Amino acid sequence: MSARIWLDRLVTWSPVLLLGALAGLTYWLNTQVRLAAPPFDGSGRHDPDIFVENFRAVNLDEDGRVRQALVANRAEHFPDDDTTLFDAPAITFTDPGKPRLDVTSDQATVTGNRESVYFQGHVKAIREASAAENEKPEGPITVTSEFLHVFPNEDRIVTDRAVTIADPRGTINAIGLELDNKARTAKFGSHVTGQIQPQTISQ
C-alpha cells in the first residue's frame, strides 16, 4: 500500500520534478557557458573607457621644472592594452641645458608604461638650435615623416619610414632614421639622398 501511495505521489509530482530538473540543468549550462565565454564587459574589445577633450599634461623634474609637456585635442584610453590615443598631439621636451624638441602629428599612441609614443600622419619634429656656452650653434633641425617612434625617457626618435631631415646647411632624405637628442647625433637608414653645405668656420 505504501508503495502504491509513493508511486501515485511520484506520478503526481513528476511534472514538477521534470521542470525542476530542467531548471537545474539550464542553470548549470548557463554557468558553464559563462565560465567558458569571455565577459561581456567590453574588456575584450579595443574600446575606450574614458576620453578627455582639450588634453593637457606636464612632467616635472625633481626641481619642479617642466621636462615634458603634452597637449592634444582629444585623448582616449583603451583598457584592453592600457594605451592612450591622442588626436592632434604636440609634445615638447625641455630638458635644462639641452635643445628644445617639439613633435606634432595627426595622431599619437602612448603605451601604458609611458616609455614609447608612436606618432602617425604628418609628423614633424623640430629641435631648436643649440645655444650652449663654448659651443657653436647647431640647427635648428626639422624632421618630417609619416611615422615616428619617440622614446621620451631617452630623448630619441626612431622611424623605419621615409623621412626628411633639414637644417640650415641643407636637406637629407632617407628611409629610416635614429635621432638622439641627448647625444645630438642622427643615423640614417637606406636610400640616402640630398645636399648638405660644408659648415664654414669663422676666423
Say what the pLDDT of residue 73 is: 95
What domain range is 96 assigned to? Answer: 50-196
Residues 99 and 134 in one domain: yes
Residues 29 and 112 in one domain: no
Say what the pLDDT of residue 41 is: 55
Rounded Cα gap, residues 87 and 52, in angstroms = 11
Q: How far apart, in Å, are the Cα atoms of 15 and each of 21, 26, 27, 71, 161?
A: 10, 16, 18, 68, 72
Say what the pLDDT of residue 106 is: 97
Residues 67 and 4 in one domain: no
pLDDT-derived band at 21, boundaries 50, 70, 90:
very low
pLDDT (tens digit per residue) in 34-86: 444 455 555 567 788 888 899 888 887 777 777 888 889 998 988 888 888 99
Q: How far apart, in Å, are the Cα atoms of 81 and each of 40, 47, 151, 185, 203?
A: 17, 10, 18, 33, 57
Residue 159 has pLDDT above 70, yes or no: yes
Say what the pLDDT of residue 5 is: 47
Residues 68 and 113 in one domain: yes
Residues 74 and 6 in one domain: no
- Among 13-27, 62-76, 148-162, the minimum mean pLDDT is found in 13-27
Residue 156 has pLDDT above 70, yes or no: yes
CATH number of the domain that 106 lies in?
2.60.450.10
Residue 154 lies in a domain: yes
Mean pLDDT of the chain: 75
Residues 97 and 190 in one domain: yes
Residues 23 and 86 in one domain: no
Say what the pLDDT of residue 200 is: 55
User: Strand runs (DSSP E) across 61-114, as ranges?
Assistant: 66-78, 83-87, 90-93, 101-104, 107-110
Residues 152 and 82 in one domain: yes
Residues 26 and 102 in one domain: no
Residues 79 and 21 in one domain: no
Letter for the amino acid at 86? F
